[in-house]
Amino acid sequence: MSPSSSASAAAHGPAPRHHIVTAKVENKAGVLARVASLFSRRGFNIFSLAVAPTDDGRFSRITIVVDVESAPLEQIMKQLDKLVNVVSITELAPEEAVEREMLLATVGAGVSAAERGDLRALVDEFGGTVVDDGGDRVTVMLAGTPSRIDDFEDLVRPFGITELQRTGLVALPKLSAGTALHSITGPGVTGHSITGHSVTGTTQGEAG
């Protein structure tokens, strides 16, 4: 069973300040640069980003994991929504999303035959596959929750990693979770101050 992503995230993966933003955008040249620019102009680093066309080739879905406080993120979300090429945008709370990531790793250089057997057993146990076999090294693939990928990466490290590539997170709303949090399709306002000054009125519930 895969561990709950939110429970183990603190150990390896995204810190609590990380947010998952998913946007449906037009599949056109320059759109990714427009999206990325709204983060970079504020000096915010994008932790991971995945983009590919949806089932409808006119559109792509971008999943961004970003390290930002909630208040500036809300402003960025509204600015993203204003981009002409962005069709819709949603922030996914971890407990309301299914999240998956993929890892490719070349491992096993210089290990004994017995250890190579242990490596294959580990790959099997995690449900991964060996996608390339170079004799003394193998390239393994694993898809799963980010925390499971983290665990696998830790366990495979003793076998000697020579190359590693993770895709970054992709995510969709959980079907059981109902509507996703903080979806921006209309002009609703939750009203956090971007500068963090005194806020009048009641405060929105904090997501934690």
- List residues binding another protein (CB under 8 A): 25-26, 29-30, 33-34, 37, 41, 58-59, 74-75, 78-79, 81-88, 184, 186-195, 197-201
Q: Which is nearer to another protein, 43 or 135 (CB)?
A: 43
Least distance between another protein and beta carbon 16 (Å): 23
CA separation for the pair 39, 97 (Å, rounded): 22
- Under a CB-based contact definition with an 8 Å cutoff, are residues 119 and 208 in contact? no
Least distance between another protein and beta carbon 78 (Å): 4
Least distance between another protein and beta carbon 59 (Å): 8
* Burial annotation 90-126 (CB, 10 A radius, 16+ → b, else e): bbbbbebbebbbbbbbbbbeebeeeebeebeebbeeb
Least distance between another protein and beta carbon 99 (Å): 25
Distances (CA, A) of 122 to 23, 64, 101, 104, 113: 35, 30, 18, 15, 14
Q: Which is nearer to another protein, 34 or 174 (CB)?
A: 34
Q: Which is nearer to another protein, 84 or 114 (CB)?
A: 84
- Under a CB-based contact definition with an 8 Å cutoff, are residues 168 and 26 in contact? no
Distances (CA, A) of 100 to 12, 76, 90, 206: 15, 24, 17, 25
Q: Which is nearer to another protein, 86 or 142 (CB)?
A: 86
Least distance between another protein and beta carbon 202 (Å): 9
Q: Which is nearer to another protein, 45 or 203 (CB)?
A: 203
Tell me the torsion sign for CA atoms 31, 32, 38, 41. negative
DSSP classification of residue 204: P
Least distance between another protein and beta carbon 104 (Å): 31
Q: Which is nearer to another protein, 35 or 123 (CB)?
A: 35
